[in-house]
Each structure stands twice: as structure tokens, then as C-alpha cells.
Amino acid sequence: MNLEVRQAGEAEQSQIEELLNDYLAELSQHREICVGATSAAEYRYLKDYWSDSSRFPFTLWANCELAGFAFVRRTEEDQEHVFQFAEFFVKPKYRRCGVGRAAVTNIWQRFPGRWELQVMNRNESAVQF
């Protein structure tokens, strides 16, 4: 499968919003406590990915079809840059065929350095990934 990871421009925000709605609906099934956004309209950092220099939006394309998105953020800890996947989503259709792994590898290569990864313990698929 041919994968392309693209830094998303503002023109792609509406496509990401649709995916973000699917992602947040799926994520809500794994929450122990009902906190945080449950829709793109409630996701308070969405617009920041196109205005904040420490946030990076990406779209994931498999065989020229939109397959997912990733939000990366850069933080500072002890005067060192630390990168995090704030959000990462691959459409169910594209799971278990290498899209997620290839996307993560591509993004890690773009941002060399220290990374922190966080996963909800109840999200068994994400923990295994």
C-alpha cells in the first residue's frame, strides 16, 4: 500500500474535522471518566494547529485516499524539545495493513528527538499498536 503523510493546510481542516468526529466518537468508548471533547466542534485546539508554531497537523493518504490524520505538538521540558502525538487516527478500513506504522515512522523521521507517547489503558488496540 502506498502511504503519503502530508502536512495539512487550512484547506484540509474540514476533512480533518470529519475524521476528528469519528476519532473522538471512537475514543469516547475507552474513557474511564467522561471528560474532554466529544466532537470536532468541542475540540478547543483545532484551529491552533494552523496558527501555533509548536503544533503540526498531518493527513495520511493510502493509495491516494484519505486514510487518517495526526496531530503532533512540541513541548519544552528541561529546555529540551519533546514531541507528542496529541491525536492519531487511522480509519478502520486502513488498520492492520501497515498504514499506522508507516505514518508514525514517517513523522518520527521528520521530528528527530525525544518523544512521549500516551495511550488510554482501556484502548487495547492502541496499546497493542
pLDDT higher than threshold 50 for residue 125:
yes
| Mean pLDDT of the 97-112 span | 94
Contacts of 13 (CB under 8 A, 6+ apart): 46, 50, 57
Q: What are the tens digits of pLDDT across the range 39-84?
A: 678 888 999 999 999 999 999 999 999 999 999 999 987 778 899 9
pLDDT higher than threshold 60 for residue 36:
no
Average per-residue pLDDT for the chain: 86
pLDDT higher than threshold 60 for residue 31:
no
User: Higher pLDDT residue, 79 or 35?
Assistant: 79
Domains of the chain: 3-128 (3.40.630.30)
Whole-model pTM: value is 0.84
Contacts of 64 (CB under 8 A, 6+ apart): 2
